[in-house]
Amino acid sequence: MSNTSDVYLKAARYGKDLVRIMRVYREADKQTCTELTVRLLLEGAIETSYTKADNSVVVATDTCKNTINILAKRSSNVDNIEVFGQEITAHMLKQYTHISSAHVDIIKHKWSRMIVDGKPHPHSFVRDGEELHTAKITHLRAGNSVTITSGLKNLLVLKTTGSAFHGFYKDEYTTLVETWDRIFSTSVDATWTYTVRPAEKYSAVDYPAIYASVKQITMDTFAKDESASVQATLYLMQQQILAKYSDVAEVSYALPNKHYVGIDLSKFNIDNTGAKMEVYHPQADPSGK
Ligand SMILES: O=c1[nH]c(=O)c2[nH]c(=O)[nH]c2[nH]1
């Protein structure tokens, strides 16, 4: 058994998770809204709260939640989540000098303006897709440096042709039949990290435009590529993003291969194979990854 004197605190981080906000901006002729889920975690000279039950160093997580709400009220554009996240981290570092880094994760839920009578409605919105825009902001007091990772999650796509998978490694464990034409479906989970820099230099980046462009590049490439594999298609997406945006230092994609398997109808003397494959079973699991 180890002696308690051998035990030490290696790292500590705490804060508030699942802070939910709906922010409405009212103009004379139209209103806008943004729904967010926010996590704010702090690091710094907080060890004694763990090791000595010393709460004097603890900014209550309830205070973290209040701060997010107040900053959402003060912010002129919470919809730009990469910037709003920095407003939160910058505030925490300024307000609490014993805090050395602030970590914010924001999920933006989708609300799109409704089209009513052929026109954008001034104050009604619809959830027209499950995809999420995410932002992770890591703000260090040292060097006032900020790392921002944006994300696009849960974008569900499917194509009924233009996807093959053959030439793969075969041995006595292989049963998969090569295919030159299959359904390709995936739920896109992409993240991209901006070049690290001092906080004030970040306001120059057009985050909403890059998010929209990543989504468009993802869909264009998915639709147009004669896919040899999920691996090859996602690499094409990444190359284009890195080529287009010098502010983006790194791109990561996770694409589950949501398998659709042709149903065997041969017992009924019905050909549902090869070019005649028209009825599939969407498989819940497993999925390639
Ligand atoms: O695009 C694919 N990549 C794989 O690695 C793989 N493995 C598999 O069984 N099917 C597929 N499809």
**ipTM of this predicted complex?**
0.98
Tell me how far apart the alpha carbons of residues 185 and 257 are, in angstroms, rounded to a whole number.
6
Please tell me if the CB atom of residue 183 comes closer than 6 angstroms to any atom of ligand 1. no
Pocket test of ligand 1: the residue of 178, 229, 235, 287 to mutate, having most ligand atoms within 8 Å of its CB, is 229
Please tell me if the CB atom of residue 176 comes closer than 6 angstroms to any atom of ligand 1. yes
Q: What pLDDT does residue 25 have?
A: 98
Interval 178-237: pLDDT, tens:
999 999 999 999 999 998 777 666 677 999 999 999 999 999 999 999 999 999 999 999
103 is catalytic: no
CA distances from 49 to 3, 56, 98, 231 (A): 21, 8, 13, 46
Pocket test of ligand 1: the residue of 225, 230, 235 to mutate, having most ligand atoms within 8 Å of its CB, is 230
The backbone region for 44, taken as left when phi is positive above 0, alpha when psi lies in -120 to 50, beta otherwise, is: left
Tell me how far apart the alpha carbons of residues 161 and 181 are, in angstroms, rounded to a whole number.
6
61 is catalytic: yes
β-strand partners of 251: 192
133 is catalytic: no
Nearest CA to ligand 1 atom 2: 229
pTM (2 decimals)? Answer: 0.95
Q: What pLDDT does residue 195 have?
A: 87
Residue 156 has pLDDT above 70, yes or no: yes
Q: What pLDDT does residue 107 have?
A: 98
Mean pLDDT of the chain: 96
Sign of dihedral through CA atoms 81, 84, 86, 89? negative
